[in-house]
Structure 1
């Protein structure tokens, strides 16, 4: 893992020696690393499918049980809120609880809750149904975050020299889960009714639990002395947290708005709306591992990938409508193209954030080990949850008040602001390091001259 004084982040073993040995080491995965990859991929795929399965049919079923649109929106929104709270708690106490136990317990509870969601049609309508929806949704959010926080920490521990590459590759499974969840859930719902989609997916997740109990390694670590507050008050980490929230809100903005806009603007059948989302999910899933690989091989590019990804994302949201001041006619092919570029730019800007935060933490005296990894994983999850809550909430409000075109443009301003702020920070950081280096050279030269003069005397 990178040393505290290494601004470039994780480097391959072998230091400055020839790259051949490092390449050979990175190509050979140990048995333990393969098991970690299988476990992390299983939770990413399973949890994202369980998360996204609700969209196609749950709102209609909830309406039948007496839930209003506002209540249904709150049922969806509370997930992100409790995700945020759980991230902070689990990130802080990861070492106390144990990464493996947190992972397995989180996966077990998430699978069980998904099965129980399938039994909600047996619950009496009205307040009892609504209360059970909130209870299960909140429990699912907490258990999901426990598993994901543990998973990210274990992955970073198992792959200290390739954090971005592995996390980027695992985002492929998250993307697949988001893509496969809604159509699979819709098909099972149409064919077998409300219960089967939840019971089917919940049982698959539960079957993964004994597998992960057997194959997942158990990493031990000392309890750290640092806190979330110290981590997030580091200026660089604060800016990176703003970037994570920006990307998350941009993704979340599309959930309540894009399908309505497509149906209204292009009169597409409801079945084709999911295909529009497919461009975004697939482009993100494909670009993420490539960006992760580039980020690990050339860590000095991370900062510019972050800035470029943010600025490109801002441009995408300006063109998504497109914004009325651009005077560009809205066309379906343009919308799909922008969504594809949107997914790629999200991968470019988001994947380097985790290793950048980790690198910054080590530079500022945070110890290497699971305690710091837990803090970083928890912080990442918390900031993502903030955006996941603000994005759809604010997006739905703006869509209703000013329409999709202007709402998307305003969302793009968030990405533009975070990109410019991050770029300015990196520029000032570069100038500060350059000035410090020049000062050290001057001091070194003066010391040499003083030593020479004393020798001559």
Structure 2
């Protein structure tokens, strides 16, 4: 597929199944999409045990990424209040990770090649482990100005690490089992959500014994340990790589990302991720002030969000492999404005807000957010193929980086604008109402787009991709 992109009319038609790929194919050399099965000899002889070990280490590191992402939500806002930060400043700190992740996701998507994938992924996990540990130690810093600045700096560096790891986990895993794309995506997603579920519980368990810093130091130390194991387990980099081997490789990631068809998927999905940033910046303070949930119990309440996401991740993976990716995506987007409006209802009926109410909201939040991740990767992967990406490596990197960009952008707007500015000046309930209206409008845009291009039907993961001329 060269030259001008073909009309986007069929997800299944955008990629064909490669009949002769087997589970023993594992190559760090970029897999051409033109049918020529070119492989790097240094990867052909990887044993099944080592390929399984790669998946296991990736899954564990994905879980630790989830832990590090979920830890600040229940514990940082109340602690920041003690240090003199305003609600807007709390939102800025929460969003600084995602601003950094957004910027570096474009950079990673543009510059990553098979020769540096291993270096990028392990560097990312080591950076995440160092910065989450540092963020926990900032509790000992005095002075709101210094504390605020250092918190932003630590979370921004953490975002750089997240951008590297998110973009690389799937490509590294799929080199070992290219025919199991849907299953592997589901495994990584489920492990990440398991980490999100475990983070608040670990925090609530460790805070009484070691104080605010303890869970951050434990999570960072364990992630560093498994990053060192990954150095030994992950396959070596490709010996050489030249974009001239893949004529379409020169297409820049930004050029791929800003097309109207891509934006028609990106923006409605981004709005769903707003809820994640809003949650981290505003929920714990609101639950504490309106319901009276104490800091020791907050982690267990927040764990319900990630538990629902963990269960949803496994279920969504099965549904996507069965061909219901677009259906799952639309259902999750419908659930988002409904949930936001329900969050507004206690403004009219205050008696609704109880601890059980908070748990139910977090459960539904987890379901709606998690139902977007797997189908979104599917659609972006096929969009990359449709636009003539020159290698399987590029297709996977573009799709993974797009997820990082969308998640980061949504969390930035959710934490800084909704959880920070709107929440401080309009109040929690009217912020929820505004969010419900925006989610409803973008949902309508997405459904109209999908209807016009003929995608309101089944869509599934191809087992392996190749360009058809």
TM class by smaller structure: 0.7 to 0.9
Partner in structure 2 of residue 231 of structure 1: 256
Q: Please give the secondary structure, in 2, of the residue aligned with 1:352.
A: helix
- CA shift, 1:72, in A, is 4.2
Matched, 1:7 2:11: yes
The answer to whether residue 65 in structure 2 is matched with residue 47 in structure 1 is: yes
Match of 1:305 in 2: 328
Higher RCO, Cα 8 Å, sep 6+ = 2
Map of 1:442 onto structure 2? none
**Deviation of residue 411 (structure 1)?**
1.4
Give distance in 2, aligned partners of 1:94 and 1:423.
Answer: 33
Deviation of the 1:405 alpha carbon: 3.2
The reply on whether 1:166 has 2:167 as its aligned counterpart is no
The SS at the match of 1:292 is helix
Q: Using the TM superposition, give the Cα deviation of residue 428 of structure 1 relative to its aligned residue in structure 2, in angstroms.
A: 1.0
Question: Paired residue for 2:404?
Answer: 381
**Deviations for 1:130-186, whole angstroms, at most 9, x for unmatched residues?**
444333222222122212211133234444444333223322222222222233234
Kept after mapping to 2: 8 A contact 1:87/1:145: yes
Q: Are the counterparts in 2 of residues 56 and 186 from structure 1 also a CA contact under 8 Å? A: no
Q: How far 1:82 sits from its partner (Å)?
A: 0.7
Measure, in 2, the Cα distance between the counterparts of 1:274 and 1:47. 17
Counterpart for residue 358 of structure 1: 381
For the 8 Å contact 1:43–1:148, the answer to whether it is kept is: no
State the shift of 1:107 in Å. 1.3
Q: What residue number does 1:243 align with? A: 268
Tell me which of 342, 346, 351 is aligned to 1:319.
Answer: 342
Which residue does 2:467 correspond to in 1? Answer: none
Structure 2 residue runs without a partner (length 5+): 1-5, 26-46, 244-248, 458-469
- 8 A Cα contact 1:10 1:162, kept in partner: no
Match of 2:321 among 281, 284, 296: 296
Q: Secondary structure at the match of 1:95?
A: coil
Kindly tell me: are residues 304 and 272 of structure 1, through their superposed partners in 2, closer, same or farther at Cα, counting changes over 3 Å? same
Indicate conservation of the 8 Å contact 2:377/2:403, yes or no: yes
- Counterpart of 1:413 in structure 2 is 437
Q: How far did residue 84 of structure 1 move?
A: 0.6
Aligned to 2:119: 101
Contact 1:35–1:215 (Cα < 8 Å) also in 2: yes
- The structure-2 alpha-carbon separation of the partners of 1:330 and 1:303, relative to structure 1 and needing over 3 Å to count, comes to same
Distance in 1 of aligned mates of 2:456 and 2:146:
60
Q: CA deviation at 1:336?
A: 3.6
Task: Give CA deviations for 1:358-387 in whole Å, capped at 9, x if unaligned.
Answer: 112112211232223222222221121111
Q: Of residues 200, 203, 218 in structure 2, which corresponds to 1:185?
A: 203
Cα separation, partners in 2 of 1:384 and 1:241, compared to 1, 3 Å:
same
- The structure with the largest alpha-carbon Rg is 1
| 8 Å CA contact retained: 1:164, 1:352 | no
Decide whether the 8 Å contact of 1:306 with 1:352 is kept in 2. yes
Give the structure 1 partner of residue 35 of structure 2.
none
Q: Does 1:371 align with 2:394?
A: yes
Would you say 1:151 and 2:169 are equivalent positions? Answer: yes
Is residue 162–residue 296 contact of structure 1 (8 Å, CA) maintained in 2?
no
Q: Distance in 1 between matches of 2:380 and 2:55?
A: 22
Distance 1:7 1:367 in 2: 18
User: How far did residue 248 of structure 1 move?
Assistant: 1.1
Whole-Å separation in 1 of the counterparts to 2:275 and 2:201: 23
1:422 and 2:446 matched: yes
User: How far off its partner does 1:123 sit?
Assistant: 5.4
Query: Separation in 2 of the partners of 1:199 and 1:187?
Result: 14
- Supply the distance in 1 between the matched residues of 2:430 and 2:394 (Cα, whole angstroms): 43
TM-score (norm: length of structure 1)? 0.80
Q: Which of residues 200, 211, 219 is equivalent to 2:218?
A: 200
Pairwise CA distance, 1:39: 2.5
Contact 2:329 2:375 in 1 (8 A): yes
Ranges in structure 1 where 5+ consecutive residues have no aligned partner: 16-20, 434-457
Give the Cα separation in 2 of the matches to 1:82 and 1:30: 37
In the TM superposition, what is the alpha-carbon distance from 1:12 to its structure 2 partner? Answer: 6.2
Classify the secondary structure of the residue corresponding to 2:93: helix
Structure 1 Cα separation of the partners of residues 430 and 186 of structure 2: 32
Change in Cα spacing, 1:126 to 1:336, as seen in structure 2 (3 Å) is closer
Aligned to 1:86: 104
**Corresponding residue pairs, total:** 419
Q: Which deviations, in whole Å up to 9, do the C-alpha atoms of 1:172-214 show, x marking residues without a partner?
A: 2222222222332343333124554333222211111221011
Q: Cα deviations across residues 285-321 of structure 1 (Å, max 9, x unaligned)?
A: 11112212221231xx322322222112221222233
Q: Mapping of 1:248-259 within 5 angstroms?
A: 248-259=273-284
